[in-house]
Structure 1
Amino acid sequence: MKQSRLMSLVEAITNVIVGYGVAVVTQILIFPIFGLHTTLAQNLQMGLLFTGVSIIRSFLLRRLFEAIRVAKPEG
């Protein structure tokens, strides 16, 4: 069964939104270990930037693999 482009985007966005919370919490916990001290607002902003990149990456990879699947000869 083929996944539509819209559903590919919805899946990618859902995946990244769930990961966004994990990423922000991870930043808050890990950054101080490396001597990086940021505010909550800065962590949220960085998380949004990384989220945007992740959405684009996930969507493009999904479409690439779908194109490979469609182009692959059966047999």
Structure 2
Amino acid sequence: MKQSQFMSLLEAATNVFVGYLLAIVTQIIVFPWFGIIATLHVHLTIGLLFVGVSLVRGYLLRRLFEHLRHH
């Protein structure tokens, strides 16, 4: 069964959202180990900088593999 472009986008967005939450929690735990002290606002901002890149990456890779599967 072929995955629609919308479902590819939805899957990528869900993956990015879950990854974003995990990244924030990880940053809050790990940053202090390296002497990096940041506010919650800074953690959220750092995470947001990568959300767009992750969403585009996930979507494009999904579409690439979908294309390869059919050729």
**Structure 2 spans left out of the alignment, 5+ residues:** none
The residue aligned with 2:50 is 50
Aligned residues: 71
- Displacement of 1:56 in angstroms is 0.8
The residue aligned with 1:66 is 66
SS in 2 for 1:36: coil
**Structure 1 spans left out of the alignment, 5+ residues:** none
- Displacement of 1:39 in angstroms is 0.9
SS in 2 for 1:38: coil
> What root-mean-square deviation, in Å, do the aligned CA atoms of Structure 1 and Structure 2 show?
0.8
Q: Which amino acid aligns with 1:65?
A: F
CA distance in 1, matches of 2:29, 2:67: 39
Larger CA Rg, structure 1 vs 2: 1
Q: Give me the TM-score of the superposition, normalised by structure 1.
A: 0.89
Q: Give me the TM-score of the superposition, normalised by structure 2.
A: 0.94
The residue aligned with 1:2 is 2
- Runs of 4+, deviation exceeding 3 Å: none
Q: Percent identity between the aligned chains? A: 61
